Amino acid sequence: MIDQVQLQQVDECLWEIPKSARADMRVPAYVYALEELLEDLRKDRTLDQLMNVATLPGIQKAAIVMPDGHEGYGFPIGGVAATDVSRGVISPGGIGYDINCGVRLLTSSTRYADVKGKIGELVHELSRMIPKGVGRGGRLVLSTGQMEEVLAGGAEWAVANGYGLNEDLDHIESRGRLEHADPARVSDHAVKRGHDQLGTIGAGNHFVEVDRVEEIYDDETAEAFGLFQGQLVILIHTGSRGLGHQVATDYLKTFLNAMPSYGLHIPDRELACAPFSSEDGQNYFKAMAAAANYAWCNREVISWEVRQSWEYIMKEAGENLRLLYDVAHNIAKIETHRISGKNHRLVVHRKGATRAFGPGSPEIPDDFSKTGQPVLIPGSMGTHSYVLAGTKESMENSFGSTCHGAGRRMSRTAAKKMVDAPTLKRELLANDIAVEAGSYAGLAEEAPVAYKDIDLVVETVHRARLARKVAKLRPVGVIKG
């Protein structure tokens, strides 16, 4: 484990592990955290893994971990790393197994106070309408040809086939489609795992959550985002399901076997990588993009299911649920960023980290050109979630990135041993939070005690100007896998 001397405080929210801390580090490591969060970052291998990331060929500026960081596969979750397009590598461990796990927020014109008595019914209908659980399939069973269309078309496929709204596309990161996706680079096994999982949330920390807007921090930006005090909104958090997991598994094996031929030597086999410009690197990048497209399509289909449930229970048109934004937080993208006064084309790995592009960025919708993009940070079950806005400082300091959630502080196994799920459910209900879960085990492992303090995590990125607070959401209904 890293010692106190090596972790040097730069300012209130930023700590540095200097490049000199280890002979093989190519860049320093940056840790964004208020001091109260450092203890959790030291409890596992987060900081050791961050130092390992700093050794990757072609890495630029710094290896970064956000305040929600914790130990992951190879890279810490909450990690950001940018490698040079020409000279750098791409690493599946820097994206994660659940490719394009992400979050979207649907907003309504309805006040919670006016429909409080219907929340239990709405949560039950959402639970009935949206399949959940490990390996659980949905109502859509796609042919191989249809799967190829989804992998190439992303959210556009859902819209074209009646499972989404055209206006949603403008409010999805990358419009819900990466153009360089190549379905041919996705294995038959991965396709088979995904053929019946569109419109499903899976298990783990994935959810559909009904929230009310509890507090507004920035009136002007909230108005631009269509948010108001007491408003009912719906968060959706899920990714590419078994398909994305299989893509990661397939290419990790390929990279482990191929690294000797590229002369690559890394301190942890979980950092398996390949030169981005190589055939192996490009094959993975195109397969990852296809899996990302699948995830965006999945969240669009789930939104269709949410709108159907809304219309049935609330007796209002489902189209009244407007998509504020959809963000990815397990992905790699080619982006241009300034380093030492010069523009560089980079492969930006974000694993458990969210884009936070600031005002004026050409890559965000015109609606948000003055405010910066909406940034969606879900809390743990039963705690607050946040809506923030991207900043120019984020573009300068963290490759346009910020945190993605509360971040685990306890393993799922430990949580299940500590938490009595029936008691937890009663406590949530006592706090006016309706809950539908696939199992008591799944409920226990996602208990709030298993996560960091979301308020401290968000306060860190707000003070560091990686994203600024716009609104705080309080859960009133939760659907878990």
Residues in the chain: 481
Q: Which residues of 229-239 are buried (b: 16+ CB within 10 A; e: fewer)?
A: eebbbbbbbbb
Q: How do beta strands 434-437 and 401-402 pair?
A: unpaired
The first and second tokens of residue 296, run together, are 């965006």
How far is the C-alpha of 431 from the C-alpha of 449, rounded, in Å?
Answer: 16
Q: How do beta strands 14-17 and 29-32 pair?
A: antiparallel
Which residues sit opposite 103 in a β-bridge?
237, 327
How far is the C-alpha of 259 from the C-alpha of 274, rounded, in Å?
Answer: 6
Which residues sit opposite 275 in a β-bridge?
89
Task: Let me know if 404 is a catalytic residue.
Answer: yes
Q: Which residues are annotated as a binding site?
A: 98, 205-209, 237, 329-330, 378-381, 385, 404-407, 480
Amino acid making up residue 218: D
Cβ neighbours of residue 11 under 8 Å, at least 6 residues apart?
none
Q: Which residues are annotated as a binding site for GMP?
A: 205-209, 329-330, 378-381, 385, 404-407, 480
Helix, strand, coil abundance in the chain, percent, nearest 5: 40, 25, 35
DSSP assignments along 51-81, one per residue: HHHTTSTTB-S-EEEEEEEE--SSSPEEEEE
| Catalytic residue, candidates 70, 171, 195, 404 | 404
Cβ neighbours of residue 25 under 8 Å, at least 6 residues apart?
17, 19, 51, 54, 55
Other residues' Cβ atoms within 10 Å of the Cβ of residue 337: 18
SS3 of 98-123: the string is CCCCEEEEEEEEEEHHHHHHHHHHHH
Q: Which residues are annotated as a binding site for Mn(2+)?
A: 98, 206, 237, 329
Q: Where are the alpha helices (DSSP H) in 333-403?
A: 392-397
Q: How do beta strands 322-328 and 330-339 pair?
A: unpaired
How far is the C-alpha of 317 from the C-alpha of 254, rounded, in Å?
Answer: 48
Q: Mind telling me the catalytic residues? A: 404
